[in-house]
């Protein structure tokens, strides 16, 4: 019988690479997203709506034991605290943090019953270091790291592991959208900004979604059965500086 993995936000970027990686490894993968995708079994879901998330995951859990949850759905937001309206702060937290809360809460009853499970939360290098012009995003990613650690401690007795993956600058559609927005505001040249971003990484390049997916797969596997409550950094050495 195939193992079952749920991925939130699996229709593009890192999430899509994760869906594809787990499919390649023989998992049955359910993708909860607003935007349809060809990879995995798509379930349209607004991750900010807790009851909707619970309903969809419960429907899946009624038919399948859920082995892995990858809470990946998220948005980027660039602004200082002064330039962050309350509505935008709520939007960032509803998607990045409340979405993880809803998905984790929904998979736990089944994982507790089977006394096994792996939960991977997509945090960021910004859970470890601050970056300028990133108040709300930084705050949300630090919260996700905390969620992984507290969940790991609360459910270790059920053999449920929880870890956070903390990517640095990864070349995804979200990355390009952020760069485009910056260039539109500042008038900067995109090629130059892209080159500068790569140069900020000790390895001299940006990370790729497939590399993050490999780490997520490892954390979900039995090879990582003694790893829980950790923040797994994949940032080309950025936070080591």
Furthest-apart CA atoms within the chain: distance in Å:
55
To the query of whether residue 137 is one of the catalytic residues in this protein, the response is yes
Among 137, 155, 175, 238, which one carries the catalytic annotation?
137
- Tally the C-alpha atoms within 13 A of residue 31's C-alpha that lie toward its C-beta: 25
Give the chain as a DSSP string.
---EEEEET-SSHHHHHHHHHHHHTT-EEEEEESS--SSSEEEE--TT-HHHHHHHHHHHHHHS---EEEE-------B-STT--HHHHHHHHIIIIIHHHHHHHHHHHHHHHHT-EEEEEE--GGGTS--TTBHHHHHHHHHHHHHHHHHHHHHGGGTEEEEEEEE-SB-SHHHHHHHHHHHHHH---HHHHHHHHHHTSTTSS-B-HHHHHHHHHHHHSGGGTT--S-EEEESTTGGG-
- Residues carrying an active site annotation: 137
């Amino acid at each position: 019988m195939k193992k079952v993995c749920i991925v939130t936000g699996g229709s593009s970027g890192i999430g899509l690479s994760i869906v594809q990686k787990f499919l390649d490894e023989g998992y049955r993968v359910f993708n909860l997203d607003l935007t349809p995708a060809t990879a995995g079994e798509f379930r349209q879901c607004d991750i900010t709506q807790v009851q909707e998330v619970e309903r969809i995951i419960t429907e899946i859990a009624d038919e399948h034991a859920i082995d892995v949850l990858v809470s990946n759905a998220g948005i980027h937001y660039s602004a200082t605290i002064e330039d962050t309206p309350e509505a935008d702060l709520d939007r960032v937290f509803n998607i990045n943090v409340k979405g993880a809360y809803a998905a984790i809460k929904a998979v736990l009853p089944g994982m507790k019953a089977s006394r096994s499970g792996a939960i991977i939360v997509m945090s960021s290098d910004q859970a470890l270091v601050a970056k300028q012009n990133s108040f709300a995003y930084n705050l949300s990613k630090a919260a996700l790291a905390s969620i992984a650690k507290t969940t790991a401690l609360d459910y270790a007795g059920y053999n449920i592991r929880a870890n956070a993956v903390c990517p640095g600058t990864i070349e995804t559609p979200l990355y390009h959208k952020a760069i485009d927005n910056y260039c539109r505001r500042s008038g900067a040249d995109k090629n130059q900004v892209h080159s500068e971003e790569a140069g900020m990484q000790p390895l001299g390049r940006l990370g790729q979604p497939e590399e993050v997916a490999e780490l997520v797969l490892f954390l979900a596997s039995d090879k990582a059965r003694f790893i829980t409550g950790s923040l797994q950094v994949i940032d080309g050495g950025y936070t080591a500086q």
